[in-house]
A and B are shown apart, each in its own frame.
Chain A
Amino acid sequence: DAGVTQSPTHLIKTRGQQVTLRCSPISGHKSVSWYQQVLGQGPQFIFQYYEKEERGRGNFPDRFSARQFPNYSSELNVNALLLGDSALYLCASSQEPGTSGGEETQYFGPGTRLLVL
């Protein structure tokens, strides 16, 4: 079975531009989460979507937005890019959120490396 896929793998943008990152979850997984990982740090939670509804949002500005499609794939959009947005953006999928049975275990994709110049 295919794992979580993300596109593109690398991206270079300039300040003020907008970017869209894409994620396809593992087949059968209905929840997608997005994380930002700055060099040398652990991943920081941005969004979680389940059944196309936003379930949670981390401490990120409104320049960050996301959505989930009927096929459970997801997009992360970042507007008005800043130099500080340069990071590895990770997408994770799980069967469903919760605290039972292991369905909440998140499996991560390879990430998109975004460089803002």
Chain B
Amino acid sequence: AQKVTQAQTEISVVEKEDVTLDCVYETRDTTYYLFWYKQPPSGELVFLIRRNSFDEQNEISGRYSWNFQKSTSSFNFTITASQVVDSAVYFCALYTGTYKYIFGTGTRLKVLA
């Protein structure tokens, strides 16, 4: 079975704090992709990052960083020095080369000024 779990339903932080969003996935496929999307109140899902199963190198892009660990089937996302504009729902998704993305239930991030 393929599944994505985002155990954190909602997180509230004060501006400038760092925040990590957790994602745990399940798949038996050896080739797959993991994604993070941001959904602001407008509703559009905004693509943030894509990682394939063969690339465990973690990356930092500006205030965003990602931690991919196959050993624990986790793909966590960290925002450094959070800003109010980061407030949104964040979705982790799994793609195994079939035809569909499997999304988690999302984590609502509230950044308070």
Contact with B along A48-59 (1 / 0, CB 8 A): 100000011010
CA distance in complex: A109, B99 (Å): 18
Instruction: Contact check, A90 vs B45: say whether CB atoms are below 8 A apart.
Output: yes
Of the residues B32, B35, B99, B100, contact of A105 by C-beta under 8 Å: B35
Instruction: Contact check, B99 vs A110: say whether CB atoms are below 8 A apart.
Output: no
Instruction: Contact check, A111 vs B33: say whether CB atoms are below 8 A apart.
Output: no
Query: How many residues does chain B have at the interface if contact means C-beta atoms less than 8 Å apart?
Result: 28
Instruction: Contact check, B100 vs A111: say whether CB atoms are below 8 A apart.
Output: no
CA distance in complex: A89, B88 (Å): 18
CA distance in complex: A44, B4 (Å): 12
Q: Which segment, of B12-20, B60-68, B72-80, B103-111, faces chain A? A: B103-111
Binding site for B on A (CB under 8 A): 33, 35, 40-45, 48, 55-56, 58, 88, 90, 92, 97-99, 102, 104-111, 113
Binding site for A on B (CB under 8 A): 4, 31-33, 35, 37, 42-47, 50, 52, 91, 93, 95-106
